[in-house]
Amino acid sequence: MSKNTVLKGAVILTLANIITRFTGFFYRIYMNNTIGAEGMGLYQLIIPVYSLCWSITSSGFTTTISKLTAQEKAKHEYGNMGRVLKQSLFICTIISILIGTALFFSADIFSTYIIKEPRTGLPLKILALCFPFMSAGSCIRGYFFGLQNSVVPATSQVIEQTVRITAVFLTADRLVPMGLTYACVSAVLGIVAGEVISFIFVLIAYKGIKIKMGFNKKPSMGVMTSLATIISMAVPLSCSRCIGSLLSTIENILIPQRLELFSQTGENAMKIYGSLTGLMMPLIQFPTAFLMAVSITLVPTVAEACAVKNKRRIKDAVNLSVFFTITVSLCFTAIFSIFPKEVCKTVYGDENLYTLLLKLSPVCPFLYLQITLSGLLNGLGEHMYILRSNVVSSIINISFIYFGMPLYGVNAFICGWILSLIITSSTNLHRVLKITETKIDFIRCFFYPLLCILASSLTLRLVFIKIEPNTVSTVAIMGAMCSFYIILLIISGCIKKDDVLQFVGFRKKI
């Protein structure tokens, strides 16, 4: 593995994530202006079903393929790589066809009695058509991640988002006037088109790299041996993701129902739900573009290090990833908590949303750390531990949603989310440190960065008071705050020259 594999992969995926999330913001603003907060809430009821079906059909196999491909590549067993991919593709395609067929014919029942929103029936039927393409494309992307080739998955991600948005723009004018049901149909058609085109792209890329790199070597692993290996890894992973997605789906179905008891009207509850899940949560999760990229590249990196028993490389990966996650998360926590009105005005043109953003800002450090830790735990093969952690997190969330939201509204959901993230991120960090026998300097990783971000953010906040707020000044002040923060990190010794050289790959540590 090259010295800067983690950085290269993370940077490529980060660029793709930034592109898709920026375009996604404009897309959400367009959708919000076109179908309103109630329509966004209706659309957000469909997304958890989409995520759940992805978890069932392909999530565990994507990580499994990535990990096994990295391991077999390290041993130069190129034939085994192809066998793993083909068997996984076959299994995922069969599962996705079965799940898609079941959803297509039960969509009306599911929307009426489970989601309790009959208007989602037709969009769910159309959504079911994309499952085979979604699962097959995910498998091939996992193969490229295992090769430490992030260009193809990143490009497919951008293509998928571009096709999705284009399809909505082309169909919205005709479908939106027909009602909210058909407005959601327009959005779902975009999802289907994006999955199909993305699959075609990664399939062509796979055919090309197979010929170019000569991965036609006869496999040394038997058919049943490879199948057993795949299933033994994919089933726990899939169960973990499925249970997590199922519980998340339950959360998203319950939120508008319990909010209705708090706000007394279903329409108002759907508007609040749309603003929360369709606008504010994507904004909070936007900085994870880099962290998700690091998490994805950590899986094959750590798996390969485990395969060759390189403990030093594993420890360095843990230290660096945790440190940079903390420093990044504190920066965005400060931005969202100190400049909430300015951020909402700049991004969505509506500063009245700032109270939701302000309440959600404490989530950032724990949410971002949890993403990085999930990548490390997956690379270490701790799939069952992740499953237990996800179950505990969802039980806490559902308890707050069910019992707290009728009394305290959105505040109960936010408190439950923060509590669940604190518990899971702290226990997951303890697990990672214990398994890898890694020691982290908590003063350097947590305390000093906290002091640096407080100093930089409060200083720039005082400066901002004397400046007339607009888009340009807001972006300039935030950029200055981030720059000041980095300077303070360097002065305090949190960021050292060796860390930078190690991270960019000039020193052979990862």
pLDDT tens-digit map of 56-98: 888 789 888 988 888 888 777 778 888 889 999 999 999 999 9
Weakest mean pLDDT among 25-29, 318-322, 327-331: 25-29
Region 200-218 average pLDDT? 76
pLDDT given for residue 510 in this prediction: 41
> Per-residue pLDDT tens for 436-445?
888 888 888 8
Residue 17 main-chain phi, psi, to 5 deg: -65, -40
The mean pLDDT of the chain is 82
pLDDT given for residue 23 in this prediction: 78
Is 328 a member of any domain? no
Predicted confidence (pLDDT) at residue 265 exceeds the cutoff of 70: no
Is 82 a member of any domain? yes
Q: Are 321 and 290 in contact (CB under 8 A)?
A: no
Strand, helix or coil for residue 339: coil
Q: Are 253 and 48 in contact (CB under 8 A)?
A: yes
| Domain limits for position 260 | 1-284
Q: Are 480 and 461 in contact (CB under 8 A)?
A: no
Tokens of 82: 């192809």
Number of domains in the chain: 1
Is 347 a member of any domain? no
Nearest to 413 by CA among 256, 244, 247, 249: 256
CA distances to 295, 379, 428, 442 from 319, rounded to whole Å, are 14, 15, 14, 11
Residues 6 or more apart whose Cβ sits within 8 Å of residue 191: 50, 127, 130, 164
Predicted confidence (pLDDT) at residue 226 exceeds the cutoff of 70: yes
Weakest mean pLDDT among 31-35, 88-92, 141-145, 250-254: 31-35
pLDDT given for residue 404 in this prediction: 92
Region 3-26 average pLDDT? 66
Predicted confidence (pLDDT) at residue 309 exceeds the cutoff of 50: yes
Instruction: Report residue 32's pLDDT band, with 50, 70 and 90 as the boundaries.
Output: confident
List helix spans (H) across 400-447.
405-408, 410-436, 442
Region 209-218 average pLDDT? 62
Q: Are 450 and 330 in contact (CB under 8 A)?
A: yes
pLDDT given for residue 508 in this prediction: 42
Weakest mean pLDDT among 187-201, 309-323, 396-410: 309-323
Is 209 a member of any domain? yes
Q: Which residue shows structure tokens 């997190």? A: 393
Instruction: Report residue 3's pLDDT band, with 50, 70 and 90 as the boundaries.
Output: very low
pLDDT given for residue 216 in this prediction: 59
Is 169 a member of any domain? yes
Predicted confidence (pLDDT) at residue 323 exceeds the cutoff of 90: no
Predicted confidence (pLDDT) at residue 502 exceeds the cutoff of 70: no
Q: Higher confidence at residue 493 or residue 218? A: 493
Residues 115, 400: Cα–Cα separation, whole Å: 19
Q: Are 47 and 249 in contact (CB under 8 A)?
A: no
Tokens of 122: 């037709």
Instruction: Report residue 135's pLDDT band, with 50, 70 and 90 as the boundaries.
Output: very high
Instruction: Report residue 1's pLDDT band, with 50, 70 and 90 as the boundaries.
Output: very low
Instruction: Report residue 189's pLDDT band, with 50, 70 and 90 as the boundaries.
Output: very high
Is 258 a member of any domain? yes
Is 457 a member of any domain? no
pLDDT given for residue 451 in this prediction: 93
Q: Higher confidence at residue 202 or residue 154? A: 202
Percent of the chain with pLDDT over 90: 23
Is 107 a member of any domain? yes
Weakest mean pLDDT among 43-52, 62-71, 279-288: 279-288
Considering 100-104, 290-294, 468-472, the range whose residues carry the highest mean pLDDT is 100-104
Residues 377, 67: Cα–Cα separation, whole Å: 12
Q: Higher confidence at residue 304 or residue 177? A: 177
From the number of C-beta atoms within 10 Å of its C-beta (0-12, 13-18, 19+), residue 402 rates as middle
pLDDT given for residue 2 in this prediction: 44
